[in-house]
């Protein structure tokens, strides 16, 4: 096992992600992976094929190949995987593991793989098709032969026209004479082939040879089609057949899927009619595709509501709707799937939006949530959550574009306000994200919303921004006035981005402590020791310096007075941002005092003019 495989499995074992529909009576897949191989194989042998399949579908894609090979019915298990699940599993595992799975795949699974992964909108992506063909050859030429005999003919023609040119020896022309002007490669002295791509000539050559060996009529049809079919027309026909096949599997076309992001409201939710519920299924019907693989975390309300749905017809309906919903979002959000982690984020997004929609409609009441799941379409619940989230973006844009306000002041927002605003002002409605301050600098710094509380939290942050923006402009003017201090003086801060709203407040506070004027102007260096002396005091019981309570109270009182001139006073908003300003000062000057004055050249939270006060 390679190092990457070990890391991937260790991550899966440590993950807290859980399937939305867990089968509690089955063994935990983690136990199988950590148990001795003999014990794991014994446990798998004690399960029926259906139980083994359900267990595998509950496990993360990355570890499925290891679980499959524990079974004496490994090939039957692979062939029983729904095509979608086979696709995700092959995409997630290593190339070596993928070859093992491809060697046991059905033609239908392989066709689905090429349909889903080798097209960008209505055009075939040759590089992707060749990558999969390379893996098929590594599996075995028998696998390639099965694929050639079953693959959609129009797709095969479209692919081969990109790889070869075919010329047919005219009737009545001697073979020796024809060889003088026809390409040298031929299998039957009738069709002569020129290879377009030298790098892939061996692969294209073997495809033709295998097809000739196993299915001569199909070989002749292919040669004739390469000669006579127009590239654009045959590709269009292949695309139409591809769309039809994917639609049969519940995967819509992009233009059909995009309506998933059309917001809706509670009074427009569609009710489920009894006739819509699925009919009873046979005992041996395999589990619905996709669903056990949707593993997520942080959606406890949704998971609890689903676990309380008892009507099997409702459960099957919900599974099918969820599969359809996930497919729509996948097609719109990522289209061509390059990174399995991107797909996993889409699954998290769908579960999160459903969790939000349920929380909103049920007001946190779990029994009401169960009733909602049984009454309304999941797609409408998703679109309701989309409405709540796009409302955040609309509110943010209203703040930024409000009349009489210079929008440039928002470039100088402090964190975390700036990142909260950035997350919800995404250009595309399907890219609105939640900022996570505790994950700054990681890949999870921004993620999709999962809970109603997160929407409310961001709305509070936006409300504070909306409240403070006019105050900042009234107290300190517009950004060109602030930046003049950088341009005209030698200061500790060098870049415009270094000036934040808290910089304006704290710098003005420093001037007020020394000059009794609350104005934004670089503090002269000679006054810096006095600023520190009047601003800070030692916290009782510790060696850390804090902003004096009297200074905090007077600052709050002054801004409260200013706020009355603009709008009704919101004391919570005033206090929240001022506390952030004081926190910045206390963090930077935690161990400063009048005996240990910080070097003004390296101060970050205030603007200081680096010259003597006498100059």
CA–CA separation, 519 vs 481, rounded Å? 12
Structure tokens at 92: 């997630």
Provide the 10 A C-beta neighbour count for residue 416: 16
Residue 398 CA: distances (Å) to CA of 63, 301, 391, 421, 463: 47, 32, 10, 12, 11
Provide the pLDDT confidence category of residue 285 given band limits of 50, 70 and 90. very low
* Beta strand 185-186 pairing with 191-195: antiparallel
pLDDT digits over 4-43, tens only?
555 655 665 556 566 666 555 788 888 898 899 999 999 9
CA–CA separation, 490 vs 603, rounded Å? 14
CA–CA separation, 327 vs 332, rounded Å? 9
Average pLDDT, the chain: 89
- 467 Cβ contact partners less than 8 Å away, ≥ 6 residues apart: 567, 570, 573, 574
Mean pLDDT value across residues 294-321: 85
* 8 A C-beta contact, residue 331 and residue 119: no
The three-state DSSP-derived secondary structure of 423-434 is HHCCCCHHHCCE
Give the model's pLDDT for residue 566. Answer: 87
CA 557 vs. chain centroid, Å, equals 45
- Length of the chain in terms of residues written: 615
Tell me: pLDDT of 172 over 90.
no
Provide the pLDDT confidence category of residue 294 given band limits of 50, 70 and 90. low
Give the model's pLDDT for residue 247. Answer: 86
In sequence order, the β-bridge partners of residue 258 are: none
Provide the 10 A C-beta neighbour count for residue 268: 11
pLDDT digits over 382-421, tens only?
999 999 999 999 999 999 999 999 999 999 999 999 999 9
Name which of 484, 515, 517, 493 is nearest 609 in CA terms: 493
Mean pLDDT value across residues 208-237: 96
Buried b (16+ CB within 10 A) or exposed e, 531-562: bbebbbeeeeeeeebbbeeebbeebbeebeeb
In sequence order, the β-bridge partners of residue 19 are: 295
* Beta strand 608-609 pairing with 523-524: parallel
Report the range of poorest mean pLDDT among 114-123, 273-282, 325-334, 409-418. 273-282
Higher per-residue confidence, 157 vs 28 = 157
Tell me: pLDDT of 73 over 50.
yes
Higher per-residue confidence, 538 vs 22 = 538
Name which of 361, 401, 395 is nearest 378 in CA terms: 361
Mean pLDDT value across residues 69-94: 91
Share of the chain above pLDDT 70, in %: 92
Mean pLDDT value across residues 483-509: 94
């Amino acid at each position: 096992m390679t190092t990457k495989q070990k890391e991937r499995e260790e991550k899966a074992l440590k993950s807290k992600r859980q399937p939305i529909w867990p089968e509690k009576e089955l063994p935990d897949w983690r136990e199988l992976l950590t148990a001795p191989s003999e014990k794991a194989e014994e446990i798998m042998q004690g399960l029926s094929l259906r139980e083994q399949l359900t267990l595998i579908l509950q496990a993360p894609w990355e570890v499925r190949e290891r679980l499959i090979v524990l079974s004496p019915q490994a090939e039957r298990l692979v062939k029983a995987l729904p095509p979608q699940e086979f696709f995700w599993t092959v995409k997630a595992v290593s190339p070596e593991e993928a070859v093992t799975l491809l060697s046991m795949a059905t033609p239908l699974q392989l066709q689905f793989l090429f349909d889903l992964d080798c097209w960008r909108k209505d055009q075939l992506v040759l590089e992707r098709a060749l990558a999969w063909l390379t893996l098929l050859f590594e599996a075995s030429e028998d696998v390639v032969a099965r694929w050639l005999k079953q693959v959609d003919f129009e797709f095969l023609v479209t692919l081969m026209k990109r790889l070869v040119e075919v010329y047919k020896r005219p009737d009545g022309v001697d073979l020796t004479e024809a060889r003088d002007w026809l390409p040298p490669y031929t299998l039957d002295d009738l069709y002569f082939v020129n290879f377009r791509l030298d790098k892939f000539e061996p692969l294209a050559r073997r495809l033709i040879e295998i097809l000739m060996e196993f299915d001569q009529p199909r070989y002749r049809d292919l040669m004739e089609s390469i000669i006579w079919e127009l590239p654009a027309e045959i590709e269009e026909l292949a695309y139409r057949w591809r769309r039809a096949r994917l639609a049969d599997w519940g995967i819509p076309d992009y233009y059909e899927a995009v309506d998933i992001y059309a917001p809706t409201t509670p009074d427009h939710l569609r009710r489920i009619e009894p006739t819509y519920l699925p009919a009873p299924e046979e005992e041996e019907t395999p589990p619905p595709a996709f669903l056990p693989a949707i593993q997520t975390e942080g959606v406890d309300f949704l998971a609890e509501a689903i676990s309380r749905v008892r009507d099997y017809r409702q459960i099957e309906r919900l599974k099918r709707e969820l599969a359809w919903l996930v497919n729509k979002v996948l097609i719109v959000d990522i289209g061509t799937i390059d990174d399995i982690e991107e797909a996993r984020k889409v699954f998290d997004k769908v579960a999160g939006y459903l969790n939000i929609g349920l929380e909103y409609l049920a007001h946190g009441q779990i029994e009401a949530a169960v009733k909602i799941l049984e009454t309304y379409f999941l797609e409408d619940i998703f679109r309701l959550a989309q409405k709540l989230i796009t409302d955040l973006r609309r509110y943010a844009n209203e703040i930024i574009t409000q009349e009489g306000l210079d929008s440039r002041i928002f470039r100088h927002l402090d964190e975390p306000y700036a990142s909260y605003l950035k997350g919800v002002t995404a250009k595309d409605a399907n890219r609105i994200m939640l900022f996570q301050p505790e994950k700054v600098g990681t890949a999870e710094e921004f993620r999709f919303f999962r809970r109603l509380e997160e929407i409310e939290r961001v709305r509070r942050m936006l409300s504070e921004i909306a409240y403070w923006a006019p105050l900042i402009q009234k107290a300190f003017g517009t950004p060109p006035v602030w930046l003049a201090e950088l341009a005209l003086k030698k200061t500790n801060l060098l870049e415009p981005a270094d000036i934040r709203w808290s910089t304006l407040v704290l710098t003005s506070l420093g001037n007020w402590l020394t000059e009794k004027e609350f104005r934004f102007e670089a503090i002269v260096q000679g006054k810096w020791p006095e600023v520190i002396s009047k601003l800070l005091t030692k916290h009782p019981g510790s060696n850390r310096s804090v902003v004096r309570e009297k200074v905090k109270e007077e600052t709050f009182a002054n801004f409260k007075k200013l706020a009355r001139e603009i709008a009704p006073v919101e004391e919570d908003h005033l206090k929240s941002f001022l506390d952030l300003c004081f926190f910045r000062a206390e963090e930077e000057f935690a161990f400063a005092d009048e005996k240990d004055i910080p070097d003004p050249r390296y101060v970050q939270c205030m603007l200081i003019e680096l010259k003597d006060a006498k100059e």
